[in-house]
Amino acid sequence: IRVSIESTNPATGEVVGTFDETSSGDREAHLERAVETFEEWSETPIEHRQQLLSAAADVLRENSEEYAELMTEEMGKPIGQARDEVEKCVWVCDYYAEHAAEHLDDEVIASEPEARTLLSYEPLGPILAIMPWNFPFWQVFRFAAPNLAAGNVGLLKHASNVPGCARAIEDVFREAGFPEGAFTTLLISSSEIDEVIEDDRIAGVTITGSDGAGRSVAETAGSQLKKNVLELGGSDPFVVLEDAPMDKTVETAVQARLINNGQSCIAAKRFVVVDEVYDEFLERFVEEMDAQTVGDPMDEETDIGPQAREDLAAELHEQVEETLDQGGECRLGGEPMDRDGAFYPPTVLTDVPENAPADREELFGPVATVFRVPDEAAAIEKANDTRFGLGASVWTEDLERGERVARQFESGLAFVNELVKSDPRLPFGGVKDSGYGRELARDGIREFVNRKTIWVQ
């Protein structure tokens, strides 16, 4: 029997597309094909694999508008941001098309006198990628570009609400000329994932998503002794010191919280502000948050579209209500909007008590929590007082001070006077409950490879 999955436009509730789930027979055929393709693909000269990545970048450029609209329809991001996302996918393909070979070059450790010793980087095999809906193209390309360049093949289990994007990405690689089986989309439910991870033909698994899903994947992968990379949530602090350049700080704070309708793992979620500038920051921040336009994500003027699913908007609102019940103050927003679709307004919470959801959990939507702290030392302590450790930023005119603070953050990424962002040239990943392993740059392409030590005497 064929099971269908539908994708729904969260701005309107309308069905965008209907797709057949991958049957168990098809899944079996895809896994078999992945192994066969890997045998050839891993032997293909890396220059050829790099050329095909350039071709994938061309396909993305040619169809940019179509892909951007598809993302906006399926998960509600503002259309301009969707176009930027396609552009970023082009960038990561171009980046590895240019740098993959140098990142995987043999690393000679010694050439004499005892022996010639070196490290060679060899692909592992078919890698399963479990991906989320928030950046439905970028998260996938961030995995696919380095791994395909390295000689691995990819199988994608995308989030259930973006099946159209999942299919479109598979088509990008097909159109670019990658062999059948180099990149395959499996439209399966999350209950089938364990079986795939356990399958002998799968060599490794990477997931971007919630820490709950990450734990489950890590457990299964661990029981099979399979390499895994986890890029999980975050509750990034945004630390404002008394000498912060206030115009840029406020402007970036709003952007850092609201990008992608507030649904980014590296969005700033906890604003930690020293007493001296707290009132000024809060007043200007609330004003700017309030000035954002919420509306149809296809409209060029819209700053904030709907949340990606109704249930996610409802869950966000529960976290806000629970925080207010525990004594938090609401300075802006805080009530679902009186309109169809999964819309949630820009919201600012203050005076949030320790252990309230807005203090402890990830708030995946346009809700900012602002904390008042006496000084820099207290700011660092508050910034680190979380089980997450993905990104963090600090705002100060004094760059030496900024760097010193950045070094004290318990996070995988620390930015001074810039919003935390991913960049193909820089390793990306977290510590603590935000996961382990790195994506992008040289580190990212070396995750799913055998770093083989060779001794020649």
* Binds ligand NDP (CB under 6 A): choice among 9, 72, 216, 422: 216
Nearest approach, Cβ of 281 to ligand NDP (angstroms)? 25
Distance (Å) of CA 353 to CA 108, 271, 326, 440? 54, 14, 7, 37
Is 76 one of the binding residues for ligand NDP (CB under 6 A)? no
Across the chain, which distance is largest between two alpha carbons, in Å?
76
Is 312 one of the binding residues for ligand NDP (CB under 6 A)? yes
252-291 residues in contact with ligand NDP (CB under 6 A) are: 265
Nearest approach, Cβ of 140 to ligand NDP (angstroms)? 11
For residue 265, indicate whether it is catalytic.
yes
Is 217 one of the binding residues for ligand NDP (CB under 6 A)? yes
- Cβ distance to ligand NDP smaller for residue 297 or 430: 430
For residue 231, indicate whether it is catalytic.
yes
389-408 residues in contact with ligand NDP (CB under 6 A) are: none
Is 224 one of the binding residues for ligand NDP (CB under 6 A)? no
* Binds ligand NDP (CB under 6 A): choice among 134, 147, 249, 252: 134
Site string for ligand NDP, 354-373 (x = CB under 6 A): --------x-x---------
137-166 residues in contact with ligand NDP (CB under 6 A) are: 157-160
From 107-115, 145-153, 210-218, 241-249, span contacting ligand NDP (CB under 6 A): 210-218
Is 131 one of the binding residues for ligand NDP (CB under 6 A)? yes
- Cβ distance to ligand NDP smaller for residue 130 or 416: 130
Is 130 one of the binding residues for ligand NDP (CB under 6 A)? yes
Nearest approach, Cβ of 226 to ligand NDP (angstroms)? 14
From 120-128, 166-174, 230-238, 447-455, span contacting ligand NDP (CB under 6 A): 230-238
Is 189 one of the binding residues for ligand NDP (CB under 6 A)? yes
Is 132 one of the binding residues for ligand NDP (CB under 6 A)? yes
- Distance between CA atoms of 132 and 139, rounded to whole angstroms? 7
- Distance between CA atoms of 139 and 117, rounded to whole angstroms? 36
Is 413 one of the binding residues for ligand NDP (CB under 6 A)? no
- Cβ distance to ligand NDP smaller for residue 281 or 428: 428
- Cβ distance to ligand NDP smaller for residue 232 or 356: 232
From 89-97, 127-135, 174-182, 367-375, span contacting ligand NDP (CB under 6 A): 127-135
Choosing from 231, 361, 376, 439, the catalytic residue is 231
* Binds ligand NDP (CB under 6 A): choice among 71, 232, 352, 420: 232
Residues forming the active site:
231, 265
Kindly list the residues in this chain that would bind ligand NDP in the complex (CB under 6 A): 130-132, 134, 157-160, 189-190, 193, 208-210, 213, 216-217, 231-233, 265, 312, 362, 364
